[in-house]
Chain A
Amino acid sequence: MTSTSHPGLPAAGLPAKGTGAADTSEPGGGESAGRQWQTRWQGVLPSVIMAVIGLAFLLPLLWLILAAFNPHATSGVSAPAFSIANFRAAFAAGAGSAINNSLYLAGVSTIVATAVSTLAGYVLSRHHVPLKGPILVGVIFLTGLPVTLLLIPIYQMFVKVNWLNSPFYTSLVLAATSVPFAIWLLKNFIDQVPRDFEEAAAVEGAGQLRILIRVVVPLIMPGILVSAILTFINSWGAFLIPLVLDSNPNDTPGAVGIYEFITANGQVQFGPLAAYGILFSVPVIIMYIISSRWLSGGFSFAGGIRG
């Protein structure tokens, strides 16, 4: 995760670089011992404050885990127990097929969005395209557009062409919502690949598509993976779009399934609900862990702005 280049506790004896509060109250004598103590103390207070904030963040997660394994779970923190009864109940309530449906929606939309964006990102990075500048600005604009705005017109369009209640067309909409960001991300990755390899391949007579697949794609694999995983996570959690566009109960994805599970029976069954939630969360947690190696670099936007 955030693991690069933080100075942790500076080595004893070195000037307390980046460890703040150097109101060096005692100049001169006893320098090294005093510094050492001070340095150690300065690491302690931030650690304590950070740990307290961390505990506050941990409590809701703790409830989730304890409730999932306790067959008598309530909305309060449950006693530790180990029973898989709640997971059985979740599967009995349709968690299995809902997760299957999520897998379909997220899988199709990820394949479509990644393929389409790699092609577009390559052309926008490498070739002359009329109006390229405005196209790129437009793509960035679409990244920030609220999906809720698109929902009613897309619903109305789907009514007209009879595409409602189709997992495939629903996943196309999910793909479209990820495409602007994916194009932008992949274009940036391709921009960094030197052209020499492609030119060498072209000299040897390789076709454009072959160059893209054999030369460029392997070089930007980290970018493709990040783009694919972000699309997958986005589509996996999608709630409003499948809720509106596909009301066939057999197509219900996990997010809608959990919502219906909360609202269906008058009395919320917190144990099975927590188990359902964990089953639904595990795939994206795994994906996030896989991608975090590359993701940690994706968060410094400022580099582009600072002169």
Chain B
Amino acid sequence: MAPLTDAPAVVAATEIDDSPRLQLATVGWLIPAAALLIGLFLVPIGYAIYLGFTNLELLGPTAQNYSFTGLANVQRMIHDPVFWSSVKITLVFVVGSGIVAQTILGLALALLGQRAHFSVRASVGSVVVLAWVLPEICVAFIWYAFSQAGGTLSLLTGNKNNDLLSTVPLLIVCVANAWRGTAFSMLVLSAGLRNVPQEADEAAQLEGASYWKRLLRVTLPIMRPTLMINMLLITLGTISDFTLIFAMTQGGPGNQTAILPVYMYIEAFQFNALGYGTTIALALMVIGALLSVFYIRQLRPELRRARS
């Protein structure tokens, strides 16, 4: 089928006759990529781990003469109520708009697409994908306009003076993010559905199982690895999102939509606390790593089966 689908089998085949001699001429070809990745990924990560424990400021005397302050930033973070509310907002945003809304809507569209008329599937698919292809900043201002007092969404709620971005800001940014991200789940999950063997579904059908029963007992269990990988990618994408929320609300009103990347930016570049901002970024990385470990553990049975 598609070029990427059968990659792993081919990988295994080619690596067998991988002759173990070092070809100096071409190993040099790794240098440009290595320089970029070391200079702009590894060194910054190491530097971040140091800066997170300093009192570096954007301006003023500690912009030059900053110093290592031990666990002062961590202590400040633990006692910072805004940080903890930001963690909570981040989780609501990731779980609500990312994992739940995008996966359910994407799965629904993928399943409906299997059974809907071709013209409906093609046109709805294009609209959903278009929302995903638009630059994020455009999504931000479209939904900013949409939820304004007098905006289309306010008119739909029946009270046109309702400024939804100040009454229910977190809900609106979640909806906007789901609107933007659903296409990804839809594409991933329809590809996954195409890989579900027809025989399993037909066997259950012969035994008289209803559509919903077959979906819950046959199709979704087979799709589990695809669903988990989809959720992992959504989680990693949503947790570090910045543009959408920052352009819509700048984290406001009153930090109600300040997910961790936005709070990091506010502390670092608006309150000048570069050191403390880095500590927040490190906390974000730790949360992302914990969530990744969780997903990878969930995938372990499938990985083991694939190996044996």
Cβ of A13 < 8 Å from any Cβ of B?
no
Cβ of A33 < 8 Å from any Cβ of B?
no
- Identify which of A112, A149, A179 gathers the most chain B CB atoms within 10 Å of its CB: A149
Cβ–Cβ < 8 Å partners of A222 in chain B: 3
Q: Say which residue of A17, A188, A285 sits within 8 Å of B133 (CB atoms).
A: A285
CB of B30 within 8 A of CB of A120, answer yes
- Contact flags (1/0) for B198-217 with A, using CB distance below 8 Å? 10011001001011001000
CB of B143 within 8 A of CB of A60, answer yes
Q: How far is the CA of A55 from the CA of B18 in the complex (A)?
A: 53
CB of A157 within 8 A of CB of B135, answer no
Q: How far is the CA of A304 from the CA of B302 in the complex (A)?
A: 10
CB of B113 within 8 A of CB of A6, answer yes
Q: Say which residue of B3, B26, B113 sits within 8 Å of A208 (CB atoms).
A: B26
CB of A75 within 8 A of CB of B148, answer yes
Q: How far is the CA of A78 from the CA of B266 in the complex (A)?
A: 35
Cβ–Cβ < 8 Å partners of A46 in chain B: 112, 114-116
Cβ of A284 < 8 Å from any Cβ of B?
yes
Cβ of B71 < 8 Å from any Cβ of A?
no
Cβ of B144 < 8 Å from any Cβ of A?
yes
The chain B residue with its CB closest to the CB of A9 is B117
Question: How many whole Å from B213's CB to the nearest CB in chain A?
Answer: 10
Cβ–Cβ < 8 Å partners of B127 in chain A: 54, 57-58, 61
Cβ of A264 < 8 Å from any Cβ of B?
no
CB of A153 within 8 A of CB of B51, answer yes
Grouping DSSP codes into helix (H, G, I), strand (E, B) and loop, the B interface class, with mixed when no group exceeds half, is: helix
Those of B259-273 within 8 Å (CB) of chain A: 261, 264-265, 268-269
Grouping DSSP codes into helix (H, G, I), strand (E, B) and loop, the A interface class, with mixed when no group exceeds half, is: helix
CB of A154 within 8 A of CB of B191, answer no
Cβ of B236 < 8 Å from any Cβ of A?
yes
- Identify which of B47, B135, B149, B292 gathers the most chain A CB atoms within 10 Å of its CB: B135
The chain A residue with its CB closest to the CB of B211 is A20
Of B72-80, B93-101, B280-288, which binds chain A?
B280-288
Cβ of A47 < 8 Å from any Cβ of B?
yes
Q: Say which residue of A19, A47, A50, A146 sits within 8 Å of B109 (CB atoms).
A: A50
Cβ–Cβ < 8 Å partners of A302 in chain B: 191-192, 195, 223, 225-226, 229
Those of B58-117 within 8 Å (CB) of chain A: 105, 108-109, 112-117
- Contact flags (1/0) for B1-35 with A, using CB distance below 8 Å? 11111111011001000111111011101101110
Question: How many whole Å from B103's CB to the nearest CB in chain A?
Answer: 14
Interface residue tally for chain B (C-beta within 8 Å): 128
CB of A43 within 8 A of CB of B122, answer no
Cβ of A71 < 8 Å from any Cβ of B?
no
Q: Say which residue of B33, B145, B292 sits within 8 Å of A183 (CB atoms).
A: B33
With known contacts A60-B142, A192-B3, A119–B30 Cβ distance under 8 A: yes
Cβ of B240 < 8 Å from any Cβ of A?
yes
Cβ of A8 < 8 Å from any Cβ of B?
yes
A-B CB pair tally, cutoff 8 Å: 378
Interface residue tally for chain A (C-beta within 8 Å): 119
Cβ–Cβ < 8 Å partners of A189 in chain B: 3
Q: How far is the CA of A244 from the CA of B281 in the complex (A)?
A: 15
Question: How many whole Å from A160's CB to the nearest CB in chain B?
Answer: 10
CB of A280 within 8 A of CB of B135, answer yes
Those of B116-151 within 8 Å (CB) of chain A: 116-118, 120-131, 133-138, 141-146, 148-151
With known contacts A1-B126, A53-B108, A299-B188, A150–B274 Cβ distance under 8 A: no
With known contacts A150-B44, A172-B40, A280-B138, A300–B4 Cβ distance under 8 A: yes
Cβ of A237 < 8 Å from any Cβ of B?
yes
- 10 closest Cβ pairs, A-B complex: A297-B2, A146-B240, A54-B124, A120-B33, A20-B211, A176-B40, A153-B44, A153-B47, A75-B148, A302-B226
Name 18 interchain pairs, CB-CB below 8 A, sorted by A: A6-B113, A20-B214, A47-B120, A53-B108, A54-B123, A57-B128, A59-B146, A63-B152, A120-B29, A125-B14, A129-B30, A144-B292, A146-B236, A156-B51, A176-B40, A262-B247, A294-B3, A299-B188
Q: Show the binding face of B for A, using Cβ within 8 Å.
A: 1-8, 10-11, 14, 18-23, 25-27, 29-30, 32-34, 36-37, 39-41, 43-45, 47-48, 51, 56, 105, 108-109, 112-118, 120-131, 133-138, 141-146, 148-152, 155, 160, 179, 182, 186-188, 190-192, 194-195, 198, 201-202, 205, 208, 210-211, 214, 223, 225-226, 229-230, 236, 239-240, 242-243, 246-247, 261, 264-265, 268-269, 274, 277-278, 281-282, 284-285, 288, 292, 299, 302-303, 305-306, 308
Q: Besides the contacts A22-B211, A189-B3, A284-B134, what 7 more A-B pairs have beta carbons closer than 8 Å?
A: A53-B112, A145-B45, A176-B36, A176-B41, A188-B7, A300-B4, A300-B5
